[in-house]
Amino acid sequence: MAANVGPVKGVLLCLLSAVGYATLGVFGKLCYDADVGVLTLLTIRFGLAAAGFAVLTRAVERRSPPRAPLGRHVVLTALGMGALGFSVQSGLYFGALGHIDLSLLSLLLYTYPAFVTIAAVALGREVVTRRRVIALTAASAGVALVLIGAGGSDADAIGVAMAVGAALVYTTYILIADGVIDDAPPLPFSTLIMTGAFATLLVAALVSGELDFGFAPEAWGWLAAMAVCSTIVPVLAFFAGLRHVGPSNASILSTCEPPVTVLLALLVFGERLGPVQLAGGALVVSAVVLLQAAVRRETAAPAPVPAPAAADRVPHLIPG
């Protein structure tokens, strides 16, 4: 019985991570209802998250054996990923949240594993297999069904474009991180990413004049919850679960995120997806599971095989 404690703990931690990420859009919409602007929201969120990760990093370093400092290349890459990648992706995510329902946004964003696979094949990092072709076909069909079920107003078109753009930017983020994260401990790396994003968003908010703290007082609670429950806790839980169940299983468990988001959107905001959209969402999630199962089989094979997918080797950092 004791031998199973580790895997069970890992599963629970990965599920906790998925639930935490699923709350991001919920807290975002609640902030919007309290008159928090997009740039103000993002600046405060990443500022609090960067501070939180910095404190945690310092605490861990004090209790751990001394380690070599991060190399200049890793530091600059992490800062750049936050400043030029994560900030843009988050801006698109929360911009889309102002135009389309959270449930629809979560399904469109979760197309990023399929985009990563397509890009990895195009770059020669992975090979085309029947399982991958089936998964990508299912993902494409799922997105088509989600969009067909969504209808087509101008606002929807803007929101859909932003959501897909967020998925594409996150794809680029993952491909850049692939290979760099292997040389970096997760906490310092995450701290640098958050710091880079915070710096960019703070400058953007100041230059545009959109940094406004005149929102309703209750918004501070939602902002703090977003930084802790939707950012810091999910990252820590994912890394902790990763040690117990491995990257492939952790990635598969993360597919719980879209269904949980859809459920939360229903419970909190009364959002409902139609039957066609639900079918499309099921196809998208199934495609991700199939892609990760393919990685798991390749990694377990005794003969030389292609390296695991890029999305399977980098930290699962905040979907928006």
For 201, other C-beta atoms within 10 Å of its C-beta total: 28
Alpha carbon distance 200, 218 (integer Å): 26
pLDDT at 274: 86
**2 pLDDT band (50/70/90 cuts)?**
very low
Q: Which residues contact 118 (CB under 8 A, 6 or more apart)?
A: 136
- State the pLDDT at residue 317: 56
| Interval 241-267 mean pLDDT | 84
Q: Sign of torsion, CA 100 106 109 114? A: negative
Instruction: From residue 4, give the alpha-carbon distance in Å to each of 36, 92, 104, 256.
Output: 45, 41, 37, 22
Cβ neighbours of residue 320 under 8 Å, at least 6 residues apart? Answer: 24, 25, 28, 89, 90, 93, 94, 97, 109, 166
pLDDT digits (tens, 9 = 90+) for 154-200: 458 899 999 999 999 998 888 887 766 666 788 898 999 999 999 99
Give the H or E element holding residue 45. helix 38-63
Residue 51: band (very low, low, confident or very high) from pLDDT cuts 50, 70, 90: very high
Q: What is the tens place of the pLDDT at every residue in 105-164?
A: 998 998 888 888 888 888 887 788 888 888 888 888 888 888 887 665 545 889 999 999
